[in-house]
Amino acid sequence: MSYSVLDKNNIPEYLRGIAKVLELLGDSSDLIVDEIGDGNLNFVFRAFCRDDPKKSVILKQSVPYLRVVGDGWPLDKKRIHFEMRALAIYGNLVPGNVPEVYHSDEEMCTLVMEDLRSHKVLRSGMIMNIKYPNVGRSIGTLLAKTLFGTSSFGMGSLDRHKYMEQFVTNDELCKLTEEFVFTYPLMVHSLNYVNPLTEKYANEHLRKDSDYKLGTLKLKETFISDKSALLHGDLHTGSLMANGVDLRVIDTEFACFGPLGFDVGKIIANFLLSYISHYQSPNDEYKEWVLEETFQILNTFSKTFLDLWDKTEESAMFTASLLNSEETKRFKEDYILKILRDSIGFCACFITRRTLGTAGVADIREIEDVVLRSKLEIVSLKLAQTLMSSHGDINSIEEFKNLVSAFFEKTKRENNF
């Protein structure tokens, strides 16, 4: 079937042509279709049986433009092919953490998958003060398994190159990241979001902070040149769905090979932005929970990554008895520290990007009181500057924790939160 854009009216007919869907939903039932997408790029629909709404599937289709901007911004619809490929790889590495894919159609640029009805987008849950038990552990484990499992420590060279080949042409989404994350927020740009109350700080402080800008550019160069592991590429709290029992990852279209600290830094940034969004709330318990889970992500990631490494003798990088145990220990410690430092640097870039760029986080961007929103935005930018200026000197997760805690204590006092 050659490509055409699907809508609520023609989706039932399209789905009835898919054997697996007929098996799941039955072939006689009337299908109701709702558009549920809230993302920036694509269209997502839920199709369910009129007489048994629990029987449902999700259909996602990419269109040849960037949804948030409209058809004036062309974007290759092949992006969903990378989402399919990454989901397949994640299906092997973290089988319990992805939705089941029932059908994928490269020509139509569609994915038909399990409806995670009992799950909620993690960002929405965190905005509503919902605590998800062990979410930090689950995220840390997911990061370690996907990043280690596609790194040159976790794979043989030939297999890894086959994986890499599958993602080298995800060029347009990599370019979006290069521009929207590492470039536009540092300048006055028509594609940025503008809160006039925040603009003065952005222009007179952050955008004049040469060390901050140079630090961001170094990390942009790392993103472009370092191909250490398969990244999710857009691992924010809107790409995770939770229900208190398990955690699922969705929306892998930005997948590409890149530096390990990128995915780690992105999710940490989103947790810290969630913490800031709750700043003025009297619910200290929830704020503490967010912060504890943030550090738990890093602790679990490091521990699990090292455990997986200890269990792997042969890989593209290592062969048994190449290094003695002291040398192995030193190599691993240096490498884990490098990931931590990169993660903190990337975290700064993502905080700034979500604060000044077009795609903000609902946690803060949807706060109606513009004065409060601006206060939180300026706190976010100051945190990004603190993290950027210190990331190269951090020596442990504990030091990162102390830095962040001291920053929040000081800022709360200064702002009377």
For binding to ligand ADP (CB under 6 A), which residues are involved? 36-42, 44, 58, 60, 99, 113-116, 121, 238, 250-251, 253
Q: How far is the CB of 223 from ligand ADP (least distance, A)?
A: 20
Given a contact cutoff of 8 angstroms between Cβ atoms, the answer to whether 97 and 249 are in contact is: yes
Rg, the chain, Cα only: 22
In 3D space, the residue among 232, 361, 363, 344 whose CA is nearest the CA of residue 297 turns out to be 344
Residues 249-288, one symbol each (x = binds Mg ion by CB under 5 A, - = not), give --x-------------------------------------
Rounding to the nearest 10 degrees, give the CA dihedral for residues 195, 197, 199, 201: -140
Give Cα separations from 186 to 174, 238, 373, 376 (angstroms): 18, 24, 20, 18
Selected binder of ligand SR1 within 82, 102, 167, 180 (CB under 6 A): 180
359 near ligand SR1 (CB under 6 A)? yes
Size of the site for ligand SR1 (CB under 6 A): 9
**Nearer to Mg ion (CB atom), residue 209 or residue 251:** 251
Residue 180, binding choice from Mg ion, ligand ADP, ligand SR1, none, Cβ under 5 to 8 Å by partner class: ligand SR1
231 near ligand SR1 (CB under 6 A)? no
Q: How far is the CB of 114 from ligand ADP (least distance, A)?
A: 6
Q: How far is the CB of 222 from ligand SR1 (least distance, A)?
A: 17
358 near ligand SR1 (CB under 6 A)? yes
Q: Please list, in sequence order, all residues whose beta carbon lies within 8 angstroms of the beta carbon of residue 12, skipping any fewer than 6 positions away.
A: 30, 31, 33, 47
Q: 10 Å Cβ neighbour count for 358? A: 17
For the chain, give the number of residues.
417
Angstrom distance (rounded) from CA 45 to CA 14: 13
Q: How far is the CB of 236 from ligand SR1 (least distance, A)?
A: 7
Q: Binding segment for ligand SR1 among 14-22, 129-137, 175-183, 274-282 (CB under 6 A)?
A: 175-183
**Nearer to ligand SR1 (CB atom), residue 66 or residue 87:** 66
Selected binder of ligand SR1 within 234, 263, 293, 363 (CB under 6 A): 234
DSSP letter at 323 equals: S
**Nearer to ligand ADP (CB atom), residue 251 or residue 342:** 251
83 near Mg ion (CB under 5 A)? no
Q: Please list, in sequence order, all residues whose beta carbon lies within 8 angstroms of the beta carbon of residue 336, skipping any fewer than 6 positions away.
A: 302, 305, 306
Residues 60-79, one symbol each (x = binds ligand SR1 by CB under 6 A, - = not), give ------x-x-----------
Angstrom distance (rounded) from CA 77 to CA 384: 33
Tokens of 307: 């455990």
Q: How far is the CB of 333 from Mg ion (least distance, A)?
A: 36
Residue 342, binding choice from ligand SR1, Mg ion, ligand ADP, none, Cβ under 5 to 8 Å by partner class: none
Q: Is the dihedral of CA 91, 93, 95, 98 positive or negative?
A: negative
Dump strand ranges (E) for 274-361.
none
Size of the site for Mg ion (CB under 5 A): 3
Given a contact cutoff of 8 angstroms between Cβ atoms, the answer to whether 163 and 93 are in contact is: no
- Using CB under 5 A as the binding rule, the residues of this chain from 335 to 394 that contact Mg ion are none
**Nearer to ligand ADP (CB atom), residue 119 or residue 391:** 119
**Nearer to Mg ion (CB atom), residue 47 or residue 75:** 75
Given a contact cutoff of 8 angstroms between Cβ atoms, the answer to whether 237 and 122 are in contact is: yes
Selected binder of Mg ion within 6, 18, 31, 39 (CB under 5 A): 39
Dump strand ranges (E) for 194-265.
229-231, 240-242, 247-249, 256-258
Residues that bind Mg ion (CB under 5 A): 39, 41, 251
